[in-house]
Amino acid sequence: MPVDTPRPRVDNAMVKALALAFRWRKMLDTGRYATFEDLAKAKGVASSYVSRVLRLTLLAPEIVEAILDWRQPADVGLDDLLNGFPLEWGRQSNQFGTG
């Protein structure tokens, strides 16, 4: 009898937020927008939101890969990431259970 393996949990909000974070970072890096405030104004969002989303670009590569491969821990959601995390990758892995 075949064993039912659970399907990976797709968190579209998390994937979209990561894509947005890296797109916005590129816009800042290339000089399209000079500041978070300029970007926020152009996108019609609060600069604090831009800051929190851009922080996602500081996630450890294995965490980003887990999210994009739908392997992130079930108890970690976008709100958890937007509420902040340690900058050190090892501590991130411990906090989000990917290490």
44-76 pLDDT per residue, tens: 999 999 999 999 999 999 999 989 888 887 888
Name residue, tokens 């970072």. Answer: 25
Specify whether the CB–CB gap between 81 and 58 falls below 8 A: no
Domain housing 47: 12-92
The number of distinct structural domains making up the chain is 1
In a domain, 97, yes or no: no
Residue 6 has pLDDT above 80, yes or no: no
In a domain, 82, yes or no: yes
User: How much of the chain, in percent, has pLDDT values that exceed 70?
Assistant: 88
Alpha-carbon span 97 to 67, nearest angstrom: 12
What is the predicted pLDDT for the residue at 79?
92
pTM: 0.83
In a domain, 98, yes or no: no
In a domain, 51, yes or no: yes
DSSP helix/strand/coil, 20: helix
Residues 6+ apart with CB under 8 A from 53: 17, 20, 21, 24, 82
In a domain, 44, yes or no: yes
Average pLDDT score over the chain: 88
What is the predicted pLDDT for the residue at 74?
80
In a domain, 83, yes or no: yes
Alpha-carbon span 10 to 29, nearest angstrom: 30
